[in-house]
Amino acid sequence: MNRHEPSMRAEAASAALPWWKGAAIYQIYPRSFQDSNGDGIGDLPGITQRLPHVASLGVDAIWISPFFVSPMKDFGYDVADYCDVDPIFGTLADFDALVARAHELGLKVLIDQVYSHTSDEHPWFAESRSDRTNPKHDWFVWADAKPDGSPPSNWQSVFGGPAWTWDARRGQYYLHNFLSSQPQLNLHNPQAQQAVLDVMRFWLERGVDGFRIDALNFAMHDPELRDNPPAPATDRQRTRPFDFQLKKYNQSHPDIPAFIERIRALTDEFDGVFTVAEVGGDEAEREMKAFTEGDARLNSAYGFNFLYADKLTAGAICAALAQWPDERGTGWPSWAFENHDAPRAVSRWWSAGERDAAARMKALLLASLRGNIILYYGEELGLTQVEIPFEQLHDPEAIANWPLTLSRDGARTPMPWSTSAPNAGFTSGEPWLPVGEENARRAVDGQEDRADSLLNHTRAMLALRNANPALHHGSVARCETLDGIFLIERQAPGQTIRCLFNLGAEGAPIPHDLGQGHVLATVNNATAEILPPYGAMVIEL
């Protein structure tokens, strides 16, 4: 076989697809990526400075978590101005420079949009709460107290306690599914819908290539304010009142897809825009499919299949992939093992002695999944969860539920760039969160020139995915475990690729009929006869 044939074949196949189908996306948490001015907080110029590193990985796009004006009570997911940059991150001119540089490097730019709620400091809410007759009086969810003065329904907040807060100015309660400082937008209101669509147009006209839409299934509530039913008994620990209910009425309203169709109509006015929804909760799979069904809704959705999983299992992987068959009308999934809301995967899934080998296997596994794949900043370095003492916590959920909720701060620590520079090269000042000694040793410059580093291995796995149509966008022909070997078989016209994995800490012999074919890659010294602990192999059949 001509050694150029796979890449030529992949280029020809990919040219007929939208850029995002099969894309690898790199998530950047802006507070923690690179500080350019020494205040200890990452910023937009810092991201621009480090874009060559991102481009070198072989990803297609970056997704930047919120950088908008915000009081930062939930670190940007409480937006006070959707159309401006918070001064701690820079200016609109800095954002424009970032987009221009990303495009020079061949990277698309996705940004977060938070449409289910705003900050209580947003001018829309200030006007809405002023009285019951102002033009924005019903842009948020307001309701009278029950006759005994109690909240309008039994709905509970994700972060703990009732989802309703009394406001004396209006003499009513307002809804907040998260912090009390994050009032819920009433997207049943056409004017409120149009306002957020105007926000989306603002950023599209500035050159962004797409959006990750936060908590989209919270975007509409039951207008009748019916009580949620109790959740059935479970052996899982419940740390919040939110966990005791089925979230039937405070989220997942059947009118959300119609709003999504308005989003799609807008994005279709621009070329090559990609939309992906974050969807969590009890009905995530059903909602993800509804939000991406057909050609008039979102391009993709991702849930929490792996983000909070205590273990990485073959059954969970196959079950997730089976939800998204290669059938007309079924949407296109996106997958992440890590993000800003979940503990680092290597710390969740493996002990300290297993992590280096397992991280290499994990990089290939992510690259083998059908759908888009999302890498969280530092995942290419094998960053682990940092233990943050209570007095240094910023995460409001962890503070409220200490010590039962694992802090999200431990997965938001600064990106380590240099093994010798103070604060691992992230900042010349005092970092907003500690880097962590173990993660500092995993800095980019210490891995860059080592051919066997996880950083270079991640590049190789992404290159493998990009060079082979079956891995990049093909269907899933098989997903099963045979004699201790987990396999995913992917197919595209003219190509079948089998990926073999050992998810365990003991060596696993490869049955003869599974290991035959042209070997494209091996992980952790795998051979045609045996997969060592966390070994893997990719074979073209």
As a whole number of angstroms, the distance between CA 100 and CA 104 comes to 6
**Token code pair at residue 456:** 């270079």
As a whole number of angstroms, the distance between CA 500 and CA 511 comes to 11
Q: Is 269 a catalytic residue?
A: yes
3-state class of 300 per DSSP? Answer: strand
What is the phi-psi region of residue 189: left when phi exceeds 0, alpha when psi lies from -120 to 50, beta otherwise?
Answer: beta
**Token code pair at residue 136:** 């924005």
As a whole number of angstroms, the distance between CA 125 and CA 165 comes to 14
As a whole number of angstroms, the distance between CA 6 and CA 15 comes to 14
526, 535 contact by CB (below 8 A): yes
116, 215 contact by CB (below 8 A): yes
Q: Which amino acid does the sequence have at 18?
A: P
Report how far apart, in Å, the C-alpha atoms of 239 and of each of 158, 161, 244, 396 are: 11, 11, 9, 14
The DSSP 8-state label assigned to residue 381 in this structure reads G
**Cα pseudo-dihedral 295, 297, 298, 303, rounded to 10:** -110
Q: Which amino acid does the sequence have at 340?
A: H
Task: Pick the catalytic residue from 148, 205, 235, 269.
Answer: 269
The DSSP 8-state label assigned to residue 245 in this structure reads B
Q: How many CB atoms lie within 10 A of CB 4?
A: 9
Q: Which residues contact 319 (CB under 8 A, 6 or more apart)?
A: none
Task: Pick the catalytic residue from 214, 287, 380, 409.
Answer: 214
As a whole number of angstroms, the distance between CA 422 and CA 225 comes to 53
Nearest to 376 by CA among 344, 349, 348, 410: 344
Task: Please give the full DSSP string across 314-358, using - where no structure is assigned.
Answer: HHHHHHHHHTS-S-TT--EEEEES--TTS--HHHHHS-TTTHHHH
Only one residue has tokens 């079924």, namely 330
Preceding omega of 230 cis (within 30 degrees of 0): no
As a whole number of angstroms, the distance between CA 162 and CA 172 comes to 14
Q: What radius of gyration do the chain's Cα atoms show?
A: 23
Q: Is 287 a catalytic residue?
A: no
**Token code pair at residue 376:** 């969280």
As a whole number of angstroms, the distance between CA 180 and CA 162 comes to 9
Question: Which residues are part of the catalytic machinery?
Answer: 214, 269
